[in-house]
Amino acid sequence: MTSSLALGFSMFLLLPISLHATDELISLLPETTVTIVNEVGGPLLGIHCRSKQDDLGVNVVSSDKSYSFNFRPNVWGTTLFYCVFEWVKGQPHYFTIYDFKRDGKTCTNCRWLVYASGPCLQHSETSITCFPWNKNAPELKY
């Protein structure tokens, strides 16, 4: 066997091992839970969240009730979920509810309180950080 043929054959044999190693790395990342609480103040809140890989569908949440979803962030640090929020006679509002670059090191149980003025990340019973609505939904390239 020539050395280039032997090298190619070796790479072919190692490919399944390297793919399996990547799967193991993915499973080592902690599962993340995002909880969204309707604090709009009365109306039903329609929530439609998605990522590049997942469309979570439309969920309708009553006032003071919540909707949650779970996922594992990818090892490349690019996991992003955005949501469209709509309530009675309201225009759609957009927000990136999870961005690994922003949230990956600070929350694996991310609790968002959604007000008409914008979403707020609840760190504890007494500490929250509020954000403005995004102007548009992010473009997810497939």
d(CA 111, CA 130): 12
- Strands 32-38 vs 109-115: parallel, antiparallel or unpaired: parallel
CB count within 10 Å of CB 11 equals 10
Tell me the percentage of the chain whose pLDDT exceeds 90: 60
The pLDDT of residue 25 is above 70: no
| First-to-final CA distance of the chain | 41
Question: Could you tell me the pLDDT band of residue 94, with boundaries at 50, 70 and 90?
Answer: very high
- The amino acid at residue 117 is S
Contact present, 119 and 130 (Cβ < 8 Å): yes
